[in-house]
Structure 1
Amino acid sequence: MAGYFSVFLVLLTLGSGLIWLIDHYMFAPKRKERIALAQGATQTPLDDDVIAQIAPEPAIVEGAKSIFPMIAAITIFRSFIFEPFQIPSGSMMPTLLDGDFILVQKYAYGIKDPVWRSQMIEVGEPERGDITVFKFPLDERIDFIKRVIGLPGDSIVYRNRQLFIKPNCEAGKERTDNLVCGEYNKIGLDIVNRDEFMQGPMHLVRLTEDLPGAQHDILINPQALESTDRYYQQTGTRKDEWVVPKDSYFVMGDNRNNSQDGRMWGFVPKENLVGKAVFIWMSFDFDNGPNSLLPGWVPTGVRFERLGNIQ
């Protein structure tokens, strides 16, 4: 089921629309008859104050008529077109930063009803490299955002901070999105810098990961130990290897040592997909230190340079 706010919007839209509809067909005609009778009894046109006294419109009807178009438009836009999200953590750094406000394309992976989230219309499938928002498989009340690494049938290995992908290829097809079929492809890494980002006292290495079709930057903490003891253990595979089931996806955060992703809990079922992150529409700095008079949630600046399409 969708989040509480989505359900609230749908109920508010249906409720206000139903009130307007009932009034339009049942009570508004009776008010018009009373006004017509009153107008027929006088030779001068009735002003608005007199009409309001003769056939007053109930406050609930007036409110429903005023909010229904706006609420209906918001519900349709948010449920089927784009939904705004705020990035709450650094798991997708350097691509997305804490304080980024993004738009998620809701129809990218299909049209779903806004309450029960059942598929209504098939539109498309996630592609390798997409940044996707989804309902956390272990608690669907929570929205997660990660990058799609493995497609259905792919074999994924993440070992010694290096990603390998063995794609699921169709019979007779030698390559898929520049990955060689039948073997594990080592995904290229090139160092960008070593001093742009920090995690506590430790510098993070920024690298460009040459994921086919979606070259992007990642962060690695060279001093952090790999948490292989926390990795999701899939039956029949090694601890750092995963085979993506049918109608599921394997996702990872770009901040590889600071991301709770598929390595720890497994796969994202297709029905959990919410949409594709496509645009940063606002980005705030939150640099209030411990001695600041302002609370931590008050922004200290706007990062205009970050606005635009998400790569």
Structure 2
Amino acid sequence: MDFSLLLVVAVAVTGFIWLLDLVWWRPARRRNLVTVEAGTTEGLDERAREKVLKEPWPVDYSRSFFPVLLVVLVLRSFIVEPFQIPSGSMRPTLEVGDFILVNKFTYGLRLPVVHTRIVEFNEPERGDVMVFRFPSEPSVNFIKRVVGLPGDRIRYEGKQLYVNGEAVPKSLLEEAPGGAPGELLLAERLGAVEHRIYNNPRDPGPQMREVVVPEGHYFTMGDNRDHSNDSRYWGYVPEENIVGRAFAVWMHWDGGLPSFTQMRRIH
């Protein structure tokens, strides 16, 4: 189900009904009131006047919901949109059950539903945590870290990421960290962004020869390097599939009571 499409339709329908009432039905009710009052000798009492002027229920609902739906549409389409993390592919940065906020204007403003970019701002940078529509199934949203920009040469061998022929710096922080037995917790630096990743020393993982990122596309990887379905397997993210940049965790919910103690910025 495309929630953006449903929201646009709801705004269009309620707005159209409210507009019809403003320009057509409300003036007709007032003219009807004048006609009714002219046919009485004593006039109408307040209760009778309200009955003649009463809005039909579709108009009443549309007038109430249209402003709210419009604000939600604008905020969700152009400012910020919430998402829930469904898998562990971005651990340790993001955990299953994290609720995140995604900045919708960092990479430019896009129209809802059709996703056409109408205003350009910034382009994705290495190290950004980006939400995008999965290339082969655009109705599904993915979240990964940008590691390759258009024109970059990307290679991944022996647990080591190479960008333009240079090994991306990383250092060991902890062996078998809590919550991830058998993994290595490492700090990795992509451009100006330092973040944490997991590697499994017993799993050789995918080996990827050098590829060149095409123009208008991006190469993404999960921080949980040996447990992530990312560009190493299915290819590049087209620019038109970008949704926005994830910038904060605002809530965590694992099936019990929601927790707000893990609120943090995403690096």
TM-score where L is the length of structure 1: 0.81
How far does residue 52 in structure 1 lie from its aligned partner after superposition?
3.1
- What stretches of structure 2 of length at least 5 have no aligned partner? none
- What stretches of structure 1 of length at least 5 have no aligned partner? 167-183, 229-238, 287-297
Residue of 157, 175, 189 corresponding to 1:194: 175
1:21 is paired with a residue whose SS is: helix
Equivalent residue for 1:128? Answer: 126
How far does residue 109 in structure 1 lie from its aligned partner after superposition?
1.1
1:90 is paired with a residue whose SS is: coil
Provide Cα deviations, 1:58-117, integer angstroms capped at 9, x if missing partner.
111111111000011111111111111000011001111101000111111111110111
* Identical aligned residues as a percent: 39
Q: Which moved more, 1:99-108 or 1:29-38?
A: 29-38
Contact 2:157 2:206 (C-alpha < 8 Å) held by counterparts:
no
Equivalent residue for 1:302? Answer: 259
Equivalent residue for 2:191? Answer: 212
Equivalent residue for 1:294? Answer: none
Q: Give 1:299's aligned amino acid.
A: G
Equivalent residue for 1:113? Answer: 111
Equivalent residue for 2:250? Answer: 281
How far does residue 21 in structure 1 lie from its aligned partner after superposition?
0.3
Residue of 78, 94, 119 corresponding to 2:92: 94
Contact 1:193 1:207 (C-alpha < 8 Å) held by counterparts:
yes
Equivalent residue for 2:76? Answer: 78
1:196 is paired with a residue whose SS is: coil
Provide Cα deviations, 1:157-210, integer angstroms capped at 9, x if missing partner.
1110011111xxxxxxxxxxxxxxxxx2211111111132455xx421100002
Matched residues in 2 for 1:153 and 1:120: separation?
24
Matched, 1:227 2:206: yes
Residue of 2, 6, 12 corresponding to 2:4: 6
Matched, 1:60 2:58: yes
Equivalent residue for 2:32? Answer: 34
Q: Give 1:35's aligned amino acid.
A: L
Provide Cα deviations, 1:214-237, integer angstroms capped at 9, x if missing partner.
111101111112233xxxxxxxxx
Equivalent residue for 1:174? Answer: none
Q: Give 2:214's aligned amino acid.
A: P
How far does residue 37 in structure 1 lie from its aligned partner after superposition?
4.7
Contact 2:78 2:110 (C-alpha < 8 Å) held by counterparts:
yes
Contact 2:158 2:204 (C-alpha < 8 Å) held by counterparts:
no
Contact 1:84 1:104 (C-alpha < 8 Å) held by counterparts:
yes
The root-mean-square deviation of aligned C-alpha atoms, in Å, is 1.8
Q: Give 1:215's aligned amino acid.
A: E
Q: Give 1:310's aligned amino acid.
A: I
Equivalent residue for 1:164? Answer: 162
Matched residues in 2 for 1:215 and 1:140: separation?
30
1:259 is paired with a residue whose SS is: coil
Equivalent residue for 2:209? Answer: 240
Equivalent residue for 1:253? Answer: 222
Q: Give 1:20's aligned amino acid.
A: W
TM-score where L is the length of structure 2: 0.93
1:260–1:22 distance in 2 versus 1, CA, 3 Å: same
Matched residues in 2 for 1:27 and 1:273: separation?
43
Q: Which moved more, 1:127-136 or 1:113-122?
A: 113-122
Provide Cα deviations, 1:28-80, integer angstroms capped at 9, x if missing partner.
01112233455565777842x32232233111111111100001111111111
Q: Give 1:189's aligned amino acid.
A: K
Equivalent residue for 2:235? Answer: 266
Contact 2:108 2:120 (C-alpha < 8 Å) held by counterparts:
yes
1:203–1:42 distance in 2 versus 1, CA, 3 Å: farther
How far does residue 139 in structure 1 lie from its aligned partner after superposition?
1.2
Contact 1:197 1:203 (C-alpha < 8 Å) held by counterparts:
no
Contact 2:153 2:163 (C-alpha < 8 Å) held by counterparts:
yes
Q: Which moved more, 1:136-145 or 1:50-59?
A: 50-59
Provide Cα deviations, 1:115-142, integer angstroms capped at 9, x if missing partner.
1111211122101110000011121111
Provide Cα deviations, 1:245-284, integer angstroms capped at 9, x if missing partner.
0011000000000000011111101001000001111012
